[in-house]
Structure formats: C-alpha cells, structure tokens
Chains A and B, each alone.
Chain A
Amino acid sequence: MATGILNIKGRIWWIVALVVLCLVPFVLPRFYVYLLSIILLFGLFAMSNNFPLGFGGIYQLHHAVFYGVGAYGTALVITKSGLSPWIAFIVGPLIAAFLGLVMGIICIRLSKLYFGMLQISLGSLVWAVVYRWYSFTGGDDGIHGISVPDIISSYKGAYYFTLIVTGISLYVLYRLLKSPYGSVLQGIRDNPVRSSMIGVNVKKHQLLALVIAGFFAGVAGTLFVVVDNTVFPDMMFWTLSLEAVIMCLLGGWLTFLGPMLGAALIVIIRTFVSTYTLYWALVLGIIFTLVIFFLPNGVLGWIEDAVKRKPNLAEAKE
C-alpha cells in the first residue's frame, strides 16, 4: 500500500510539467504568457467548482459568485482600506469562503437541482447588489487599475505568482480529496442515504465542501486581480458559472485535473475562434455536444479510461 501522495511515475510527470511551465515566460511572447495565466486561474476556478460538483455530488451551479466576490474582496481591500495587498490576497478568498458558508447554510436544506436553483437565485442577488452599488463597487464599470505589489506587477511576475498559488491550491485540493474527508465526500456523492446510515452527518460534510470551494474560487478571483488588475460585475454573472460547469463536464467531472483541461480548451477556443467569428460560443456548443455524445466522461475521463483498459488488454492476451 502506497503511503505517498503520488507514485514515482506520477511525480516525474508533475515535475516535468512544472519545469515546462516555469520556462514558458522565457520562450513565449507576452500574450501567450498572459493567456496561460488566465488558463491557470480559470482552471483553478473550474476545479474548485468541481470539488463539490464532481466529488461531492452537490449541484454547485452558481460558482462564479464566489469567484467574483473573492476578486471584489481583494480589489476593495486594496483600493479602499490602504492595507497591504498581501493581506488583501488572503482577505478576498476568506470573504468568498464566508459567503460559501452563508449561502451553503441556506441552500443545503434543498438537494440536487433545487439546491442549484436556489443558489443561482441568491447568487444573482449578490450580482445585482454589486452591479448597482456605484459608490462602493463601481457598479457596472467595475474597478480598474488596481495596484499590486511591484514584484508581481509585471506580466512575468503575475504569471509566476499565478503558477505558484495555483500549484499550492491544487496540491491542497488533492490532499483533501485523498483524505478520509475526501473519501466520505465521494461516498456522499454516490449515495447520501447510505452515508448517513454509516454514521456520516451528510449536510455538515457537504457544507464544508461548499466553504472549501468558495475559498478556492476566491483564490482564483484574486489571481485574476493580479493578472488583469481589474474587476467587473460580469465576473459573478450566472453565465460564467455555466461556463465553469461546462469546463468540468468537458474536461471530465470525475477526474481531478479534468476541469483544468476543460478550462484550457474553453479559453483557447474563445481566444482564437473569436478572432474569426463572433459566434465562438456556437463552435464551443458543437464541440461540447460532441463530447457529451462520444466522451460522456469528458476528455480526461476518456483518456484515463483508455489508460486503465490498456494493461487489462495485455493481461487478457497472456
């Protein structure tokens, strides 16, 4: 029984990926480095959505509100309070986690789709407040030119900061999923009634998942402030939540890294297809439909299944 977090082979892959990602700013031009930062932070956003969705079986349908509130929290602390931005980077995610707790307590009474619907309603309420409250949040203009510490203000600095924070966040999420809490959460996903019958307080465990998801969405929002130096109300509009769910399904909602892959696909499609046509969402729609039809477990889910099948085939031949 392996007691380590990853086997040797897995570790080597991680190290190779990390080295490549560290070298990127020396090779690629500024635009691509920016794009990669966006992919990383959107990937973290989608993966934090997938924590309750794919591993907890909770219909987390309005995840963008935590992303947006985290970003606004950071932006407002920097622009209004005069505190160090480093403190803001911690406060933003904590506000998002707190919102996750409050909205969770209200929504967790309902299950499945009803949970998601109530979450969308409450989240839209938060969006409406941010959208209208000109004196505090800047209304539909948002907040621009947010200053961040010098060391991470360049595009390279922002990229490395995003890379490090995303890496740490992924590691923490991975540890959480492999812990007893993570096992129980997946048990709840598969069968809440059974979970309660083996002595698990289902609602409390789900609530913690929502708080954790809110926190890491807030981290992703904060990273957006670092990369883009702006916040705007669209960051917590429900359409972005839908995009996050699509990222999870596209990449593979039962896999750990699937949502990151989904985020990469969507950001790339949006960036490159939209230079040819305004209707980039149509292209995304077609791809998404095809994936649902032919790869119901998502792209990474399909790859993982294929890898798992391979050794079995070899055994069968013997």
Chain B
Amino acid sequence: MLQVKSLTKSFDGFKAVNNANLDVQNGEIVAVIGPNGAGKTTLFNLISGILKPDSGQVLFKGDDITGLPPYEICRKRISRSFQVVNVFNRLSIFENTQISILSRQKKTWNLFTPSSSLAVNETNELLKNVGLYEKRDHISGALSHGDRKVLEIAMALGGNPEFLILDEPTAGMSPEETTRCIDLIKGLREKYGLTILFCEHDMEIVFGIASRIMVMVRGGTIVQGTCEEVRCNEAVQDAYLGGSDVCLM
C-alpha cells in the first residue's frame, strides 16, 4: 500500500533521514522503532508532506506522492497524529473533530451556513467511537494529556483515512491511559479497516500489536521484518544494546 524508496532528507548537512526504505501492505500494522534521533518523526513528516525530501520516492497505492503538500496527501486518505500534541487549543473537542470532518467533506469554503448544523451526527458518532463524547464541549487546551492524544486520533480519523500514521501515540501517557489507548487503536483498526504505521518507544506495545517492524538507526533502515526477525537481529542488538547477544524483549 505504501512504499518508501531510498528517502533522504538533510538539514544543514546533517542527514536526518538517509536512505530509508519502508513497505507497508494493506491491513498491516507496521511499527518504526529506533533510538532517539534516529529520524522516525522526520520520516513521518516526509511521508505526510510536512517536509519535502531531498531525494527518494514515496508511493501510495502505486501513485507517486513525493513532495505533495500535506492537504493533498490528506485528500488521498492518509491521516496522521503528532508526537507533540497538535490540536486547536482554543476550540472544543467537538469543534476540533468537526473541522476535520468538514474539511474531508470539502465544506471549508462554505461561507454562510452555520457550522452548528453541519456534520453534527458524524462528529458525535466519531466522538462516541473514541470515547470522548461526554467531554465534547470541553476546550481542548484544558484537557489532560491523554485525552488530547485521543483527540489527535479522532481528528486524524475525521479525514476518513485508509492509512493512519501515529507518531508515538502513547508518549507521556500514564500506564492506564496507555492500555486504554492501545485498546482503542486496535478497536478502531477493526472498525474502520485501517492500515497503520506508527512509531513508539515502548517495546511491549510495539511487539504486542505490530505485524511487522522497521528499525531505523541514524536516518537509515537497518532491517524490516516480522517481530521474530527483528528481535534477534544482530544489527538491531548492536544499535539498541551495544552489541550484546541478548534479544530485544
């Protein structure tokens, strides 16, 4: 479904992403792991169009989407959430989600119909699915970190994606919130038939839900394979554990 071919991006000579390769099949959950600064978020920014790559290609369902602006990539039904919470802080949960849905329905140029009469049912439905319906009128800037992370996912789902990119979905969450969030992601995947690409530091989550794993070190892909293949791969042990013979997890 998504193929990344020898993608490269440098900032002032520093190669943040250097010859990264990735392949995600329809319906899979693929995790990207790697030490801090390996270039995971940069890779996601390149795929979602926030950054333009220096070289390499991103193909989505066979179409070349390399370097398209984010709003066009979104219209190809690729959505993402962000590592650092990125919501509309002064608006309510309902409005945040509604804007995302209105944007998908191409109603953002509608100048005179009151928003309050549009996409109300869809928004409520989506909020019920992610468990934020009771808090729909809360201003999102005043929410707990965990709720805002879930709101991120709701906003990403508002675009009715086939392909969802989650950048550290559980970062900064308490253990209970993490469990809830992982269950939510699993449930949503089944409900919406999503293909998911995510990155995460918590190996328990990674090995728990990913069908395949891609390992990045210093901007490049060192291996992509099933959990078993990655777990005892020498290069991975080298990167994570400094060359000891112990398997990850």
Q: A-side interface residues toward B, CB under 8 Å?
A: 1-3, 5, 175-176, 178-184, 186-187, 189-191, 193-202, 205, 254
> In the complex, A180 Cα to B102 Cα: how many Å?
7
Residues in A with CB closer than 8 Å to B159 are 198-199
- Judge if B69 is at the interface, Cβ distance under 8 Å: yes
- Which residues of B does A touch, CB under 8 Å? 48-50, 69-71, 74-75, 79-80, 82, 86-91, 95-96, 98-100, 102-104, 107-118, 120, 155-156, 158-159
The contact sample of 20 A-B pairs, CB cut-off 8 A, is A1-B120, A2-B116, A176-B112, A180-B108, A184-B99, A187-B91, A187-B99, A191-B87, A191-B88, A191-B89, A193-B50, A196-B49, A196-B71, A197-B50, A197-B71, A197-B80, A197-B82, A198-B100, A199-B74, A199-B159
| Contacting residues, chain B, for A183 (C-beta < 8 A) | 91, 95, 98-99, 102, 115
Determine the chain A residues whose CB is within 8 A of the CB of B96 once the complex forms.
Answer: 187
In angstroms, Cα B91 to Cα A178, docked, is 13
Instruction: Given the known inter-chain contacts A187-B99, A191-B88, please indicate yes or no for A199 contacting B111, CB distance below 8 A.
Output: no
Closest 7 CB pairs of A and B: A199-B74, A190-B88, A196-B70, A198-B100, A199-B103, A184-B108, A194-B86
Cβ A179 vs Cβ B91 within 8 A: no
A8 to chain B, nearest CB (A): 15
**Beta-carbon nearest neighbor of B74 in chain A:** A199
Hey, which chain A residues are within 8 Å of B75, CB to CB? 199
How distant is A26 from chain B, measured CB to nearest CB, in Å?
35
Flag if A3 contacts B116 (CB, 8 Å): yes
Q: Which of B82, B90, B112, B155 contacts A175 (CB 8 A)?
A: B112
- Contact (Cβ within 8 A) A178 B108: no
Q: A195 CA to B49 CA in the complex, in Å?
A: 13
Known contacts A191-B87, A198-B103; decide if A180 and B116 are in contact (CB<8 Å). Answer: no
Bound-complex Cα distance A181 to B107 (A): 8
Known contacts A194-B155, A198-B79; decide if A180 and B104 are in contact (CB<8 Å): no
Closest CB in chain B relative to A195 CB, distance in Å: 8
Given the complex, which residues of A lie within 8 Å of B107, measured CB to CB?
180
**A184/B103 contact (C-beta < 8 A), A176-B111, A191-B89 known:** yes
Additional A-B contact list (5), CB under 8 Å, known A179-B111, A194-B88: A175-B114, A198-B79, A198-B155, A199-B75, A201-B69
- Report the nearest B residue to A212, measured CB to CB: B111
- Which chain B residue has the least Cβ–Cβ distance from A172? B112
Q: Is the CB of A199 within 8 A of B120?
A: no
